[in-house]
A and B are shown apart, each in its own frame.
Chain A
Amino acid sequence: MASENLTASGYIKHHLQNLTFGQHPDGSWGIAHGADEAAAMGFWAIHLDTMLFSIGLGIFFLWLFRKAAKKVSVDTPSGLQNFVEMMVEFVDTSVKESFHGRNRVIAPLALTIFVWIFLMNLMDLIPVDFIPHLATLAGIPYFRIVPTTDINATLGLSLSVFALIIFYSIKIKGVGGFTKELTLQPFNTPIMIPFNFVLEMVGLLAKPVSLALRLFGNLYAGELIFILIAILPWFAQWALSVPWAIFHILVITLQAFIFMMLTIVYLSMAHEDH
């Protein structure tokens, strides 16, 4: 950041700005230059960098596991197959321990969530300037490569999980059962129905919000600290950035695991018929 025309706050702001595509207030479509322009676009704008990296990493995950699945053999697994089997086994064990219903969607869903979020988090370990610099050379003004530091991505994930929670709640318990669960708990008297409803609704809505904010908060904070470290003199950066990156190996794995486990637990709760 030693350049004269860029202040520390400018640098940070630049790094926290997504590549936003949308309609400018004047009616023309294009990429927002700066946070103000992006904010002016309102809801109907899209973060191209988040989309590119999340979809790209998703495709990478599918391609990698598909490749292993196609060449799967009953002999001693080696290399990729061994790794993929280990991941599947790990997720399957987690699902079996926490989820007691019968549902063929849960385990593949959990595997996808874990590996995909892990891959998206992994982008955090790439030095903060590498890809943005390359993007600048290619004429792209902003580029954030960690989709999970974008609340749109995490909220999108958690809302999908939320939709599944609602779907399975109604499918297993029926509309009546689900309504009863929302209105007759914890106090099973007709007078308390409004109170119960408010309480249960808060609990229900807190699930997707907490899922999204937990992942976003952790990764955003991690990213921010990487950016702050990047402001230090170039010869001193490694002293802080290396320990933080090493610590971050734990964080990214843990956050992916927590998101997966909570998804399993929430869906398990949706399957419990009282």
Chain B
Amino acid sequence: MNINLTLIGQAISFAIFVWFCMKFVWPPVIAALEERSKKIADGLEAANRASRDLELAQEQATKTLRESKEQAAEIIEQANKRANQIIDEAKEQARTDGERLRDAAQAEIEQDVVRAREALRSQVSTLALIGAEKILGASVDEKAHSEIVEQLAKEL
């Protein structure tokens, strides 16, 4: 078995064959592999994105919930404050009203007292005059002594 040109012929054939494989067989195989790899990468990325989105949404939901809770608390507080204010106002109003009424009543009472005293005084003077008349027996001149009696009445 000698080494001869056949070997070179086969080497040429082999070289052409390898070239053919590199040119036409290898690329589709590699493309298929790359496509598969890309598909998996895309799938993984989509899954990642979805989980990230979910996380974000959860965060957002928590935030919104917290905000609305805060808002609700604020509203309740405001309402409480307002209620207290209204109650205070009503109390104040009632107090002033009461005071006013009481003052008016007191003034009226005082007026009545003055009036009664006035009436009493005039009646006392009349009574005194009548009494003196009775004591002195008709000798007293009403006109002449009325000045004295009035003075007396004022002293009462």
Contacts and interface: CB of A to CB of B under 8 A. Distances in A.
Please classify the interface of chain B as helix (H, G, I), strand (E, B), loop, or mixed, using the class held by over half of its residues.
helix
B78 to A, nearest CB: 55
Interface stretch (A78-86, A145-153, A162-170): A78-86
A242 B20 contact: yes
A82 B35 CA distance: 10
B9 A78 contact: no
Nearest to B11: A127
Contacts of B16: 238, 242
B5 A127 contact: no
A234 B8 contact: yes
Contacts of B25: 249
B4 interface: yes
Contacts of A133: 1, 3, 7
Chain A CB count within 10 A is highest, among B3, B4, B9, B11, for: B9
Chain A contact patch, size range: 35 or more
B44 interface: yes
Interface string B1-41: 11111111111111011001100010000001100110011
Contacts of B37: 76-78, 82
A127 B14 contact: yes
Contacts of A2: 4-6
A91 to B, nearest CB: 15
A75 interface: yes
B121 to A, nearest CB: 117
A125 B9 contact: no
B44 A76 contact: yes
24 contacts: A2-B6, A3-B2, A6-B1, A14-B1, A76-B37, A76-B41, A83-B33, A86-B33, A127-B10, A130-B7, A136-B1, A141-B1, A230-B6, A230-B10, A234-B5, A234-B6, A234-B9, A237-B6, A237-B13, A238-B12, A238-B16, A241-B17, A242-B13, A249-B21
